[in-house]
């Protein structure tokens, strides 16, 4: 089996800056990418921006700038936000790049030459929000687009069409024969039902100006989805002078998309790949939405929360942890936010409770009590010797945790995986309470025969913290880095891999470093009170 791991996210429309929904998708993908790197995989993590089409054209017009200027401004914003969120992508594609545009044209010509793209007149109901035609039966009871709650417009054009119908049977068989292809499994039937009525789709637009021109027909531009979907292979150099990454990394292990765009990825994308004679990705994973009061956060609806507002208040890792811990990846999850009178973000109490309990208390306090307090006071900060009796069932529990985390991540059960890591954090916390090393220190001062056990308890705590730092690093990279620094281990946290999750690696004699709290408690109530007092 290949040791490569290619994963992608959807490329976001650059009609507006990123919101919490986009951040959600990118954070989850980043956790998977970081986890797989830890497992020793040669990871290639691709993200990017979908810069063509009506939505982007319109946004530029509203701003009074050219689409090029608009896209550059938005791209800067996205890249800035992803950096703040510590998203470790390996490549960031923009569909306005020459390399991409040239490759898409070649793909179009190939499909045309083999008879998979043909020209015909067409009239249909078009939703500009989805950039897709709808059949009447797929609209809601009021005749509106189910996602955007807007009436689609009647559009008639002479367009180029892609012969999806030719590949329908093959796609159906692929979905049925490969149970892991569409995940979560619960969405499989939805795709199979949609596939039944799927017709050839138009893959060019006469009314749109901002896009890749149809080769040999300047009046039309290539349909934004045919343009955008191909990013997953053009970014690897497909149909370019250097396709070494394509040869090395394709097919993708997982392509992460929201449930609203599953049909594009589970039907149109496989049809393109079949037509090109390319393997299909191993898995299309479709996640749920972040909602506010049950409504999807969306640029079109306008109920957005900026990731920056959350980062400023809760730090990057507070947001990352909460998102993975509280949302069930395949389902929708409500972000119970409170807003100020001017509609700006005020706070999210469930987030505060969660990060205070798990990050500030259970993880942060454990580290603080052991390294900055007891170890500094009693052992000059030096990691003491192991003592078997003090280790209880920790070595065994850690092996089990490692297996559980790996299994959950392989199933994209991100929430389960982080819960398993925190079972270990909570176990450590309880161990510290029950062993009460501060009492052991006093007893050891009076009776030296207690010392080996006391030291063994400290070693057990420190070794568990070392393993927690590695296991938790994909979710909370900044906090675990601070934890790692306090442990004083020479090799970097980034250099650790799955084999380092083994009991007994921490060397006695290592010099730990007292440090600040790795995640200070959030106290909005106090902040609210002091605000009121000062006003
Ligand atoms: O669909 N919760 O771009 P996009 C969770 N350009 N995920 C959300 C979300 C929410 N509230 N809102 C959006 C596009 N997303 C196309 C993709 S791929 C070849 C082209 C997710 O900016 C959404 O489901 O509308 C999608 O996966 C991604 O953000 C980009 O959405």
Please count the other Cβ atoms lying within 10 Å of the Cβ belonging to residue 500: 15
The separation between the first and the last C-alpha atoms of the chain, rounded to the nearest angstrom, is 64
Instruction: Report residue 73 as tokens.
Output: 């401004």
Distance 257 CA to ligand 1 centre (A): 7
Q: By the 8 A CB rule, do 161 and 120 touch?
A: yes
Confidence of residue 528 (pLDDT cuts 50, 70, 90): low
Please count the other Cβ atoms lying within 10 Å of the Cβ belonging to residue 134: 17
The pLDDT value recorded for residue 309 is 95
Give yes or no for residue 143 having a pLDDT over 60. yes
What secondary structure does DSSP assign to 288-347, as a single string? --EEETTEEP-TTTT----HHHHHHHHHHHHHHHHHHHHS-TTS-EE---EE-TTS-EEE
Please count the other Cβ atoms lying within 10 Å of the Cβ belonging to residue 159: 22
Residue 328, phi then psi, degrees to nearest 5: -90, 115
Instruction: Report residue 49 as tokens.
Output: 């921006």
Closest CA to 295 of 251, 334, 324, 240: 334
CA-only gyration radius of the chain, Å: 26
In whole angstroms, give the CA distance from residue 239 to residue 357.
Answer: 51
The closest residue, in CA terms, to atom 29 on ligand 1 is 22
Nearest-10 crossing angle of helices 67-84, 307-326: 50
Q: By the 8 A CB rule, do 259 and 287 touch?
A: yes
- For 202-244, what is each residue's pLDDT tens digit? 999 888 899 999 999 999 999 999 999 999 999 999 999 999 9
Where on the phi/psi map is residue 115: left (φ > 0), alpha (ψ -120 to 50), or beta?
left
- For 454-506, what is each residue's pLDDT tens digit? 999 999 999 999 999 999 999 999 999 999 999 999 999 999 999 999 999 99
- For 235-251, what is each residue's pLDDT tens digit? 999 999 999 999 999 99
CB neighbour burial string for 81-95, b if at least 16 within 10 angstroms, e if fewer: bbeebbbbbeebbbb
- For 373-383, what is each residue's pLDDT tens digit? 999 999 999 99
Q: Is the peptide bond preceding residue 251 cis, with omega within 30 degrees of 0?
A: yes
Give yes or no for residue 527 having a pLDDT over 60. no
Residue whose CB lies within 8 A of the most ligand 1 atoms, among 7, 12, 273, 297, for a mutation test: 12
Residue 32, phi then psi, degrees to nearest 5: -65, -45
Distance 22 CA to ligand 1 centre (A): 6
Confidence of residue 402 (pLDDT cuts 50, 70, 90): very high
The enclosing H or E element of 517 equals: none
Residue 393, phi then psi, degrees to nearest 5: -100, 20
In whole angstroms, give the CA distance from residue 212 to residue 220.
Answer: 9
Q: How many residues does the chain have?
A: 535
Distance 100 CA to ligand 1 centre (A): 20
Q: What distances in angstroms separate CA 110 from CA 107, 118, 411, one per listed residue?
A: 5, 12, 36
Is ligand 1 within 6 A of the CB of residue 258? Answer: yes
Q: By the 8 A CB rule, do 212 and 230 touch?
A: no
In whole angstroms, give the CA distance from residue 86 to residue 153.
Answer: 40
pTM: 0.94
In whole angstroms, give the CA distance from residue 455 to residue 143.
Answer: 71
Q: What sign for the dihedral angle of Cα 292, 293, 295, 301?
A: negative
- For 162-194, what is each residue's pLDDT tens digit? 999 999 999 999 999 999 999 999 999 999 999
Instruction: Give the nearest ligand 1 atom to 231 CA.
Output: 19
Q: By the 8 A CB rule, do 107 and 50 touch?
A: no
Would you give the DSSP letter of residue 212? P
Instruction: Estimate to the nearest angstrom the gap between the alpha carbon of 216 and the chain centroid.
Output: 39
Is ligand 1 within 6 A of the CB of residue 317? Answer: no
User: Which residues are CB-neighbours of 72 under 8 A, at least 6 positions away?
Assistant: none
The pLDDT value recorded for residue 66 is 96
Residue whose CB lies within 8 A of the most ligand 1 atoms, among 9, 14, 19, 21, for a mutation test: 21
Report the DSSP beta bridge partners of residue 117: 162
Instruction: Report residue 382 as tokens.
Output: 């030096």
- Collapsed DSSP state (helix, strand, coil) of residue 271: helix
């Amino acid at each position: 089996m290949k040791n490569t791991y290619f994963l992608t996210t959807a490329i976001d429309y650059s009609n507006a800056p990123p919101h919490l929904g986009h951040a959600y998708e990118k954070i989850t993908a980043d956790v998977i990418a970081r986890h797989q790197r830890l497992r020793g995989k040669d990871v290639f993590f691709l993200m990017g921006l979908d810069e063509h089409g009506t939505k982007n054209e319109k946004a530029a017009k509203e701003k009074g700038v050219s689409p090029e200027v608009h896209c550059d401004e938005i791209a800067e914003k996205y890249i800035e936000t992803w950096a703040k969120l510590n998203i470790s992508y390996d490549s960031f594609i923009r569909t306005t790049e020459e390399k991409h545009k040239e490759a898409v044209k070649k793909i179009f010509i190939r499909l045309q030459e083999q008879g998979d793209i043909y020209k015909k007149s067409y009239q249909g109901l078009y939703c500009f929000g989805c950039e897709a035609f709808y059949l009447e039966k797929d609209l809601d009871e009021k005749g509106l687009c189910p996602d955007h709650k807007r009436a689609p417009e009647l559009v008639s054009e002479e367009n180029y069409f892609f012969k999806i119908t030719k590949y329908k049977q093959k796609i159906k068989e692929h979905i049925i024969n490969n149970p892991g292809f569409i995940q979560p499994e619960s969405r499989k039937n939805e795709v199979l039902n949609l596939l039944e009525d799927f017709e050839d789709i138009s893959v060019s637009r006469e009314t749109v100006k901002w896009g890749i021109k149809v080769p040999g027909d300047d009046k039309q531009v290539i349909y934004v989805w045919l343009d955008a979907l191909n990013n997953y292979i053009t970014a690897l150099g497909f149909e370019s002078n250097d396709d070494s990454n394509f040869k090395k990394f394709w097919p993708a292990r997982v392509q992460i998309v929201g449930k609203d765009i599953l049909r594009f990825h589970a039907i149109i994308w496989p049809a393109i790949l079949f037509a090109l004679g390319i393997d299909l990705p191993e898995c299309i994973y479709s996640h749920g939405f972040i909602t506010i009061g049950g409504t999807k956060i969306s640029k079109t609806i306008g109920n957005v929360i900026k990731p920056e507002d959350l980062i400023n208040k809760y730090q990057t890792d507070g947001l990352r942890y909460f998102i993975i811990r509280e949302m069930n990846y395949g389902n929708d999850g409500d972000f119970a936010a409170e807003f100020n009178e001017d509609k700006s973000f005020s706070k999210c109490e469930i987030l505060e409770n969660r990060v205070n309990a798990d990050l500030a208390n259970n993880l942060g306090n454990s580290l603080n009590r052991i390294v900055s307090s007891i170890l500094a006071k009693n052992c000059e900060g030096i990691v003491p010797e192991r003592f078997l009796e003090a280790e209880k069932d920790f070595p065994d529990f850690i092996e089990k945790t490692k297996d559980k985390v790996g299994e959950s991540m392989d199933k994209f059960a991100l929430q389960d995986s982080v819960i398993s890591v925190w079972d270990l954090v909570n176990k450590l916390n309880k161990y510290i309470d029950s062993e009460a090393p501060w009492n052991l220190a006093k007893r050891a001062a009076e009776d030296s025969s207690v010392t080996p056990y006391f030291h063994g308890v400290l070693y057990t705590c420190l070794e568990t913290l070392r393993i927690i730092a590695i296991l938790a690093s994909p979710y909370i990279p900044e906090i675990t880095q601070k934890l790692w620094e306090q442990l004083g281990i020479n090799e970097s946290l980034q250099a650790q891999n799955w084999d380092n999750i083994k009991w007994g690696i921490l060397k006695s004699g290592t010099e730990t470093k007292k440090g600040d709290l790795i995640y200070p408690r959030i106290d909005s109530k106090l902040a609210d009170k002091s605000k009121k007092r000062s006003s």
